[in-house]
Amino acid sequence: MDNQKQEDRRNLTFGKEQGEADFERLITYLSAGGLALSFTFIEDLVPLATAKWKWLLITGWASLGCTLLLNLWSHVISTNFHENSIKEFDELDQDSETEKVEYDTKLVSRNSIISKINLLTTLLLSIGVLLLVLFTSINVLNMSNDKESKEGATSVQIEKLGRTITKPSSVVSKGSSDSKSNNSNGKEK
């Protein structure tokens, strides 16, 4: 039974390690992909010269960039922690309960730091994606509303101008119904 428990523990540990590796890879792909796609296609979606709330775009890019940098640093930190843990394990006196407790405490502390970094990268990635989506949505909707307003205003102006332009009296024929309204004194000539 003890061997089965150890095997189960190894399988759980292996699954956890695989999940963490997949997580690191996914964070890197998503943040780098978000940056690359937004750099490439943002001008096609939203003309930056007329864009509103540009700080959303800049902050979103900064957040995705920080996600990438922090993820890279987490690899360096994790590697360093593993090297230190291996070295300490090799030097560990297996008969000393005090050393085992100290070693275990260091492992827990190191894993806690890595978990916090992973949580921060997830948060930064989420903020970056949210800000890019907000920036794009606000500006696409704004462009659509501006286009509708301009089209509506143009047709109203043309229509209004069409109703208010009167024929000059010199071109109005004497039998025309407009001749009375165009004459300033209201009398026919």
For the stretch 75-120, pLDDT in tens is 899 989 989 998 998 898 888 999 989 999 999 999 999 999 999 9
Q: Which two tokens stand for residue 106?
A: 């260091």
Assigned domain for 35 exists = yes
Q: Which residues contact 45 (CB under 8 A, 6 or more apart)?
A: 136, 139, 140
Instruction: State residue 44's pLDDT score.
Output: 85
Q: Which two tokens stand for residue 78?
A: 């994790």
Residue 91: which domain range?
A: 2-139
Pairwise CA distance, residues 12 & 33, whole Å: 31
Assigned domain for 182 exists = no
Average pLDDT over residues 153-168: 54
Assigned domain for 118 exists = yes
Strands (E) across the chain are located at none
Assigned domain for 176 exists = no
Assigned domain for 171 exists = no
Assigned domain for 75 exists = yes
Instruction: Please check whether residue 99 is in contact with residue 92, taking contact to mean a CB–CB distance below 8 angstroms.
Output: yes
Considering its fold, how many domains does the chain have in total?
A: 1
The answer, as to whether pTM is greater than 0.85, is no
Assigned domain for 55 exists = yes
112-159 residue pLDDT tens = 999 999 999 999 999 999 999 999 999 988 887 777 776 655 544 445
Assigned domain for 51 exists = yes
Average pLDDT over residues 156-179: 57
Pairwise CA distance, residues 185 & 165, whole Å: 19
